[in-house]
Amino acid sequence: MRINSAVGQTEEVKVDVRTPAGKKMTAAAATRPVGTALRIAPEFVASAIDDESGIETTLRASYIADEGRYLVSEVNNRATRAGVEINNIALRQVAVQQILQAATPHCITMTLDDEDDPSSTWIPLSQLTTAEGKIIPPWMAEQVTRRGSSDERMDVIELLYGAAALSGQPPVKAIQLELGVPHRTASDWVKRARAAGRLEGMSYIVGRQADG
């Protein structure tokens, strides 16, 4: 990819993301190519603690190629303090989708080098600077929307589409919010990226609009 990165991140949901073997998730675990310039971890385990409810939720998700996204196959909950009961009322507060959404950027990697070079350094999307829950930093969004070349723009669209679609979020809406562009513009960029073969292996189906 031709975009630059900055260090630091802010997440609305703090997650601990690991491989199925229990090791901390790193770029080395992202072995599955998707799109034209991304690699993802085929499977992961993510945990998050809700301090208010006193419940820790751990989920297991796997990438399903036919679906073009991660699917949650297992969810476990435990009380983190005495006096907390795991019942129907407590389980209503478990935010499985939010945990999946927060964990996914840790499992998607990109490189600033040549994708075909074995010595290239791959980094997770979670290492990009974010603000207010966003995936990319404001300066990058401005660069792409105002001065970005076609290739640079498509790199970012592929990245944002993947982060949204792989976690079951509406990609067009995500791009619209991340880049501050109208829905029509975001939709047009997605169509161009899809036509260029950049979105292979990633899709959003449930409740999506025809252009999503």
Domain ranges for the chain, please list them: 16-108
Lowest mean pLDDT of 75-89, 159-173, 197-211, name the range.
197-211
What confidence score (pLDDT) does residue 151 get?
84
Whether residue 164 contacts residue 186, with contact meaning beta carbons closer than 8 Å, is answered with no
pLDDT over 70 percentage in the chain: 86
What confidence score (pLDDT) does residue 54 get?
92
What confidence score (pLDDT) does residue 192 get?
93
Residue-wise pLDDT for 53-79, tens only, equals 899 999 999 999 999 999 999 999 999
β-sheet bridge partners, residue 78: 56
Q: 61 phi and psi, to 5 degrees?
A: -130, 145
What confidence score (pLDDT) does residue 129 get?
55
* Strands 43-50 and 16-18, bridge-based pairing: antiparallel
Residues 123 and 197: their CA atoms lie apart, in Å, by: 22
Q: Quick one: average pLDDT of 161-168?
A: 93
Q: 125 phi and psi, to 5 degrees?
A: -60, -25
Lowest mean pLDDT of 15-19, 26-30, 90-94, 178-182, name the range.
90-94
Whether residue 5 contacts residue 112, with contact meaning beta carbons closer than 8 Å, is answered with yes
Residues 174 and 104: their CA atoms lie apart, in Å, by: 14
Please report how the helices 150-165 and 171-179 are oriented relative to each other, as an axis angle in degrees rounded to 10.
130
pTM: 0.82
Q: Quick one: average pLDDT of 140-163?
A: 85
What confidence score (pLDDT) does residue 130 get?
58
Q: 59 phi and psi, to 5 degrees?
A: -125, 155
What confidence score (pLDDT) does residue 98 get?
92
Residue 212 has pLDDT above 60, yes or no: no
